[in-house]
Amino acid sequence: MTDTEKDNGTGDVVVEEPVVEEAAAEEKAADDKGPSTVDAASKTINEAFKQVEKQVGNISKALGSALQDRANVVMVRVNDDSLHYLDMLVEADITKSRSESAAFLINEGIKVNESLFNKIREITDQIVALKSELREVVAVEDE
């Protein structure tokens, strides 16, 4: 008798199929090849969720900053594209209203263009100083 043949006790020889051993060998071979497609997909999905959570956290912080101390009211007209983006923020439950969406986007736009606004501030400060100087000159001439 061979290793796969056994006597079942009745005198008959039974050939055992090495099914369990083959399945274990296939599983080990798959493990040796690396992670399965399912594992890779799961890892990719988990990484995507982490990125989304990180972005939501960043948006929440930025939103909190933008909505803090909103005591001033500004009436503004926007085009259809801008309105669409404002509504997207509301529909995604990122903001509660178009007003919050506008405040958030204005605040983010200012942050992104901070160097431009610093340059504008420098020039407007110079303009204010020149106007003041001009008023002093005119006032002296009137005397």
- pLDDT band for 3, please (50, 70, 90 cuts): low
The number of CA neighbours under 13 Å toward the Cβ of 29 is 6
What pLDDT does 29 receive? 58
What pLDDT does 88 receive? 96
Q: What is the pTM of this model?
A: 0.49
User: Distance between CA 11 and CA 124 in Å, rounded?
Assistant: 107
pLDDT digits over 16-57, tens only?
Answer: 555 556 656 665 655 555 557 778 878 888 888 777 777 766
What pLDDT does 122 receive? 97
Q: How far is CA 119 from CA 3, 105, 113, in A?
A: 87, 21, 10
137 or 17: which carries more pLDDT confidence? 137
What pLDDT does 65 receive? 67
The single-letter code of the amino acid at 53 is E
User: Distance between CA 100 and CA 63 in Å, rounded?
Assistant: 8
- pLDDT band for 130, please (50, 70, 90 cuts): very high
DSSP assignment, residue 17? P
What pLDDT does 42 receive? 80
What pLDDT does 116 receive? 97
pLDDT digits over 61-112, tens only?
Answer: 777 766 777 788 889 999 999 999 999 999 999 889 999 999 999 989 999 9
